[in-house]
A and B are shown apart, each in its own frame.
Chain A
């Protein structure tokens, strides 16, 4: 039993799911669901369809080269069973997974960083330029910080009574 990759979107196809199409030149196309299958039949190029992994890798949205990818390689010759090796492999898979996902998220974070910086600069500029819409210049002159003015509320002062000690 093997988990395969969908040819169109590159997600994993679990057993019992999807469709396999074998072309006359014996090339096998596996699809995870009918969405991918129908897209394939429409002859769409996955590298141009935004939500596929192929597009994302091609356009640098997701991580492409990494040493963690080399751990997972299809081996054609089976190895003799060794319990220790099996145990170690299972533990290793978890660790490798974690590292890989960390690296992938870091990659995305870095990618989005420049946008963030830009947006912050823009926001600051907008704030400086538009502060006159929410704060009168007089108020600005008094309190030069770029935030909303504090609204003074007239509280009706009760007559101050002398604090008389309570009659006992």
Chain B
């Protein structure tokens, strides 16, 4: 049964349940920044544990950490650098998908730029593998493309 929003929503916490069954708490004002969560709260009420089928216990704490900083206005370039420092390219991808599912705009934009920064100097082969994209060029077509833009292929990082 849905309740009316209390006058002290800022101190109210919402319970979120991940796809793998774990429960995490988040402040209502932070939940507001994730439009999917807010929509579920509007539908189901803020006293019920909100189920997030597509987000898991590995990512949700990180996302909560980001928005905890956001509501206190503490997101700086240094914080953002630190936030992604220990994540590998695949972990960022998972977080990025979760931010998209949660409709968490600020985090989504930040992670889009971070993934772009990671891919900036990577090879074509690495990018194909990263996105699971198949090469549908013939060998002749591909070598012609590389010849035409040989200068854009210089300065690429070695694949790990």
- Are A and B associated in one complex? no
